[in-house]
Amino acid sequence: AVETCPPGYRHPHDGLPDNAITTGNPALSEIRQSLWLNPPQGINSNTDNSVWGYYADGYFDRRTLASSLGVSPMVTSAVATNSIYVAYVGRLFINPTTLASLFFPASGYRYNQSGGLYNAGGRGTYATKSTQDISNNKNLWYLEFVSSTAATTTQMHYDFHVNNISMSEGQSVRCVLQ
């Protein structure tokens, strides 16, 4: 009911644009059509046009890798962890036709039971405008990707997908133009 994006921007949708129940149909999903080369049905996924890793941007790649902070921290997944300039490993989506790319940090989420940051550096969760059940309005569809980062390796624990979660969990927001 409350828009967290600034004026002129909004949350992307994963289903019908009026915040109705998502069908899992890729043709109705703005987020699936925008990110995936082969948009998945339901909560299925593929990694045809994305990669997990560190973003070489002149900031991240010039700092010492450290463990993330919070509950269930991940090793070698973040830089500048004790500052407001923290940056995390994440997933890069690439358009193979235009070579345009979009990076989503694995910034974790706010765990509803403790209020603490959970799984930063290992999980990225991004809210959409779509809810699972419009009459209940509690479960939000979101983009999720998870890593099983070990001390020297980074690989996917399972593929990223769109799923639903309680709105009491704090998800990241990636606003799009209206």
Both structure tokens of 2 = 């409350």
For every residue of 93-128, DSSP letters joined together read EE-TTT--EEEEE--BEE-TTT--EESTTTEEEEEE
Q: Which residue has the tokens 């998945």?
A: 40
The pLDDT of 88-105, averaged and rounded, is: 92
pLDDT of residue 11 exceeding 60, the answer is yes
pLDDT for the residue numbered 121: 92
The pLDDT of 36-41, averaged and rounded, is: 80
pLDDT for the residue numbered 83: 93
pLDDT for the residue numbered 137: 52
Strongest mean pLDDT among 22-31, 36-45, 86-95: 86-95
The pLDDT of 156-172, averaged and rounded, is: 56
Residue of higher predicted confidence among 8 and 48: 8
Range with the lowest mean pLDDT among 83-97, 114-128, 156-170? 156-170
pLDDT for the residue numbered 88: 94
pLDDT for the residue numbered 38: 82
Both structure tokens of 33 = 């059509």
Both structure tokens of 36 = 């995936």
pLDDT for the residue numbered 155: 32
pLDDT of residue 94 exceeding 70, the answer is yes
Q: Is 113 exposed, middle or buried (0-12, 13-18, 19+ CB in 10 A)?
A: exposed
The pLDDT of 90-105, averaged and rounded, is: 91
Adjacent-strand bridge partners of 91: 52, 104
The pLDDT of 144-167, averaged and rounded, is: 50
The pLDDT of 130-137, averaged and rounded, is: 60
pLDDT for the residue numbered 132: 63
pLDDT for the residue numbered 160: 44
Helix (H), strand (E) at residue 143? strand 139-147
DSSP 30: H
